[in-house]
Chains A and B, each alone.
Chain A
Amino acid sequence: MNAINPVMGAKAEVKQNLEVADNQVTVGSCFTEAPKMTMRNVNVFYDDKQAIHNVSVDIAKNEVIAMIGPSGCGKSTFLRSLNRMNDTVESCRVEGEICMDGENLYAPKLDVVELRARVGMVFQKPNPFPKSIYDNVAYGPKIHGLADTRVDLDEIVENSLRKASLWEEVKERLHQSGTGLSGGQQQRLCIARAIAVSPEVILMDEPCSALDPIATAKIEELIEELSQNFTIAIVTHSMQQAARVSHRTAYFHLGRLIEVNPTEQVFTMPEHELTEAYITGRFG
Chain B
Amino acid sequence: MTKPVNTPVNNLQKIRKSLSRRNRSEWLFRWYGRLAIFIGLVAVTVLFTDIVSKGHGAFRIAYLQLEVEYNRDLIGVDNLTDPEQLILGNWQAVPKQALRQQFPDVSGRSDKRKLYGLVSNGSGFDLKDRLLANPMLLGTRETVWVLADDDIDTYYKSWLDGEPYAARLSDKQVKWIGELHDQGKIRLQFNSNLFTRGDSREPEQAGIRGAVMGSLFTLLLTLMLSFPIGVAAAIYLEEFAPKNGWTDFIEVNINNLAAVPSIIFGLLGLAIFINFFHVPRSVPIVGGLVLTLMTLPTIIITSRAAIKSVPPSIREAALGMGASKYQMVLHHVLPLALPGMLTGAIIGMAQALGESAPLLMIGMVAFIVDIPGGFSDPATVLPVQIFLWADSPERAFIEKTSAAIMVLLSFLIVMNTSAVWLRKRLERRW
Interface residue B429 (Cβ < 8 Å from any Cβ of A): yes
Decide yes or no: A113 and B324 within 8 Å by CB, A88-B319, A190-B317 being known contacts. Answer: yes
* Residues in B whose Cβ lies below 8 Å from that of A123: 313, 316-317, 320
Whether B332 is near chain A, meaning CB under 8 Å from some CB there, is yes
Q: Which residues of A contact B39 (CB under 8 A)?
A: none
Main secondary structure of the interface of B (DSSP, over half): helix
Known A-B contacts A90-B243, A179-B429; the reply to A127 vs B313 at CB < 8 A is yes
- Residue numbers in A under 8 Å from B324 (CB-CB): 113
A143 and B319 within 8 A (CB): no
Using CB atoms, name the residue of chain A closest to B310.
Answer: A130
Contact B336–A143 (Cβ < 8 Å)? no
Instruction: Indicate if B327 sits at the interface (CB-CB under 8 A).
Output: yes
B175 an interface residue at 8 Å Cβ cutoff? no
CB distance from B213 to the nearest CB of A (A): 41
Which of chain B's residues 41-90 have a Cβ closer than 8 Å to chain A? none
Residues of the B chain whose Cβ atoms lie less than 8 Å from the Cβ of A143? 321-323, 327, 331
Known: A113-B323, A179-B429, A179-B430. A129 touches B243 (CB 8 A): no
Complex-state Cα separation, A128 to B318, whole angstroms: 9
Which one of A47-55, A100-108, A114-122 contacts B? A114-122
B316–A116 touching, CB < 8 Å: no
**A157 beta carbon closer than 8 Å to chain B:** no
Do A121 and B320 touch (CB < 8 A)? yes
Tell me the minimal C-beta distance from A119 to chain B in angstroms. Answer: 9
Which single residue of chain A is at the shortest CB-CB distance from B429?
A: A179
Q: Which of the listed residues B243, B314, B317, B319 has the most CB atoms from chain A within 10 Å of its own CB? A: B317
* Interface size grouping (class) on chain A: 20 to 34
A136, chain B: closest CB distance, angstroms: 9
Separation of A2 and B323 alpha carbons in the complex (Å): 36
In B322-365, the 8 Å CB interface with A consists of 322-324, 327, 331-332, 336
Min distance, Cβ B301 to any Cβ of chain A, angstroms = 23
Given the known A-B contacts A90-B243, A113-B324, A179-B429, are A129 and B319 also in contact in the complex, defined by CB atoms under 8 Å? no
Interfacial chain B residues near A83, Cβ < 8 Å: 320
Chain B residues with CB below 8 A from A144, complex form: 322
Most buried by A among B320, B324, B331: B320
Q: Across the interface, do B319 and A116 meet the contact criterion of CB distance under 8 Å?
A: yes
User: A88 vs B314: C-alpha distance in the bound complex, in angstroms?
Assistant: 13
CB distance from A115 to the nearest CB of B (A): 8
Interchain nearest-CB distance for A176 vs B (Å): 14
B428 sits at the interface (CB 8 A) = yes
B317→A116 contact, CB < 8 A? no
Residue from B315, B316, B321, B327 whose CB has the most chain A CB atoms within 10 Å: B321
Indicate whether A85 sits within 8 Å of B322 (C-beta atoms), given known contacts A125-B313, A129-B314, A130-B336. Answer: no
Q: Could you say which residues of chain B place their CB within 8 Å of the CB of A117? A: 321-322
Cα distance A114–B323 in the bound complex, in angstroms: 9
- Known contacts: A90-B243, A143-B327, A179-B429. The answer to whether A127 contacts B322 by CB under 8 A is no
Whether B320 lies near A120 (C-beta < 8 A) is: yes
Q: Which residue of A113, A121, A130 contacts B430 across the interface (Cβ within 8 Å)? A: A130
- Is A114 in contact with B332, judged by CB distance below 8 angstroms? no
Q: How many residues of B contact A (CB 8 A)?
A: 22
Residue contact A129 to B332, C-beta cutoff 8 Å: yes
Determine whether the beta carbon of A116 is less than 8 Å from that of B429. Answer: no
B322 touches A114 (CB 8 A): yes
From 102 to 158 in chain A, residues with beta carbon under 8 angstroms from any chain B beta carbon are: 113-117, 120-121, 123, 125, 127-130, 139-140, 143-144
A115 to B322, CA, bound (A): 7
Residues of chain B contacted by A188 (CB below 8 angstroms): none
Q: Does A201 contact B (CB under 8 A)?
A: no
A114 proximity list for chain B (CB < 8 A)? 322
Measured in the bound complex, the distance between the Cα atoms of B323 and A140 in whole Å is 8
Q: How far apart are the CA atoms of A183 and B430 in the complex, in Å?
A: 12
A193 at the interface (CB under 8 A from B): yes
A113 touching B322 by the CB < 8 A rule? yes
> CB distance B316 to A127 under 8 Å?
yes
Contact call B319/A127, Cβ cutoff below 8 A? no
Q: Give the distance in Å from the alpha carbon of A281 to the alpha carbon of B53 in the complex.
A: 80
Q: Does A194 contact B (CB under 8 A)?
A: yes
- A128 and B323 in contact, given A90-B243, A179-B429 (Cβ under 8 angstroms): no
Bound form: Cα–Cα A130–B332 in Å: 9
A257 located at the interface, meaning its Cβ lies under 8 Å from any Cβ of chain B in the complex: no
A98 sits at the interface (CB 8 A): no
**Cα–Cα distance between A143 and B332 once the two chains are bound (Å):** 13
The residue of chain B having its C-beta at the shortest distance from the C-beta of A88 within the complex is: B319
Query: Chain A 16-44 against B: per-residue CB contact (8 Å), 1 yes, 0 no?
Result: 00000000000000000000000000000
Closest to A124 in B: B313
Asked whether A85 lies within 8 Å of B319 as measured between CB atoms, the reply is yes
Residue of A nearest to B327 (CB): A143
How many Å lie between the Cα of A127 and that of B328 in the bound state? 14
Interface CB pairs A-B, < 8 A, 25: A83-B320, A88-B319, A113-B322, A113-B324, A116-B319, A116-B320, A116-B321, A123-B316, A123-B320, A127-B313, A127-B316, A128-B317, A129-B314, A129-B332, A130-B336, A130-B428, A130-B430, A140-B321, A143-B322, A143-B323, A143-B331, A144-B322, A179-B429, A194-B320, A197-B321
Residues of B with Cβ closer than 8 Å to A? 242-243, 311, 313-324, 327, 331-332, 336, 428-430
9 interchain residue pairs of minimum CB distance: A117-B322, A116-B322, A127-B313, A121-B320, A127-B317, A140-B321, A130-B430, A113-B322, A113-B324
Add 6 more A-B contacts to A129-B332, A143-B322 (CB < 8 A).
A85-B316, A120-B320, A127-B311, A144-B322, A193-B317, A194-B321
